[in-house]
Amino acid sequence: MRTWIYLGVAACLAGLGAVRYGAVPSSYDAAAWQSANPEDGKVADGVFVSDYFDLSYRLPEGWTEGLAGPGPTQFGYYVLGTWAPKHDFVGTVLVVAQDMFFAPESSEAKNVVAEFRQAMSAVDGMTIDSEPAQVSVGGHLGYRIDFSGVGLFRSMIAIEIRCHVLTFNLTSQDPEFLASLVRSLDNLASVRKKTSDSVPECLRDYATSENVVHRVEPDDVGAKAVSIPVRMVVATDGSVKHVHVIRASAAQRRNIEEALRQWKFKSYVRQGRPVEVETGMTFNFKPANM
């Protein structure tokens, strides 16, 4: 089994030539990341920037955003972006994120890749070219698998950032081009200037009666038989600092936000100091007759 180690080196692609990229411009808004949501990333001037994930990536030269994907799902799954060449359609990059709080299956990058490997190996005509192996991409540790079939060569790389597993899914007709595309991921960089900007502690199932000291139920509204995932950031004083209703109708969103802003948690203490917590919970609206 080969281990792919990418140490976050800068792009030195002379001689490879297939994918070129440069430094990422600094456009960081210090306040933005605190209230950002996972789906808020966007491409501007050829650079994908996600304040929530503290991530930037300069697209390969001549590439652009493809068609936007669907909105977030009830399981906290996001299509963050699809990138492809403007001309000469030779490959694509799809970036998705899975919220660890709502993942129906494994919520660790290693397991995600292992399960993905199992799924791919069961596909008729698919070959596993490189078994899952640990890698470092743009300074993030993760796991990579390579596979191919029907003339398409693909790599999937999973890394963990802020309560989510991000996967980069790269596809090309040309294995060499795919390799250069993978290398381009070393261009992943941080958008934050100050490392002192702390990231909330990710805690699954924190919104329980054990930790919630004041709770207000949202009004039940809209479609029945739906599960509404909600991500929230709890401040050091136990108040709800940020609410992100991941998928719901406008009325449901409004009601849930109004209710959650009245919630009060116990302060979460780590190493003797209160810290912010990011957690998730699901509101289940059952059919009226059940």
Under the rule (CB under 8 A), what is the footprint of other proteins? Answer: 63-71, 73-75, 77, 79, 82-86, 89-92, 94, 96, 98, 104-105, 112, 115-116, 118-120, 123-126, 149-152, 156, 167, 169, 171-173, 223-226, 286-290
Instruction: Return the structure tokens found at 199.
Output: 């990231």
Instruction: Return the structure tokens found at 241.
Output: 């600092």
Q: Smallest distance from the beta carbon of 185 to other proteins, in angstroms?
A: 15
Would you say 15 or 125 has its CB closer to other proteins?
Answer: 125
CB contact set of 194 (below 8 Å; sequence gap of 6+): 30
Q: What angle do CA 132, 79, 73 make, to 5 degrees?
A: 105
Would you say 242 or 253 has its CB closer to other proteins?
Answer: 253
Q: Smallest distance from the beta carbon of 138 to other proteins, in angstroms?
A: 20
φ, ψ for residue 277, nearest 5 deg: -125, 140
Burial 92-106 (b: 16+ CB within 10 A, else e): bbbbbbbbbbbbeeb
Would you say 8 or 66 has its CB closer to other proteins?
Answer: 66
Would you say 82 or 136 has its CB closer to other proteins?
Answer: 82
Q: What is the helix, strand, coil percentage profile of the chain, to 5?
A: 15, 40, 45
Would you say 5 or 122 has its CB closer to other proteins?
Answer: 122
**In sequence order, what are the beta bridge partners of 42?**
49
**In sequence order, what are the beta bridge partners of 278?**
202, 233
Q: Which 8-state DSSP code applies to residue 104?
A: S
Q: Smallest distance from the beta carbon of 56 to other proteins, in angstroms?
A: 19
Would you say 36 or 158 has its CB closer to other proteins?
Answer: 158
Would you say 174 or 201 has its CB closer to other proteins?
Answer: 174
In a 10 Å sphere around its CB, with 0-12 CB exposed, 13-18 middle and 19+ buried, how is residue 284 labelled?
Answer: exposed
Q: How far is CA 102 from CA 78, 210, 230, in A?
A: 12, 20, 9
Q: Smallest distance from the beta carbon of 233 to other proteins, in angstroms?
A: 24
Q: How far is CA 107 from CA 99, 158, 176, 258, in A?
A: 8, 11, 31, 29
Helix (H) or strand (E) holding 243: strand 240-245
Q: Smallest distance from the beta carbon of 41 to other proteins, in angstroms?
A: 14
Q: Smallest distance from the beta carbon of 155 to other proteins, in angstroms?
A: 10
φ, ψ for residue 112, nearest 5 deg: -60, -45
Would you say 128 or 203 has its CB closer to other proteins?
Answer: 128
Residue owning tokens 């899975």: 98
Q: Smallest distance from the beta carbon of 195 to other proteins, in angstroms?
A: 31
Q: Smallest distance from the beta carbon of 122 to other proteins, in angstroms?
A: 9
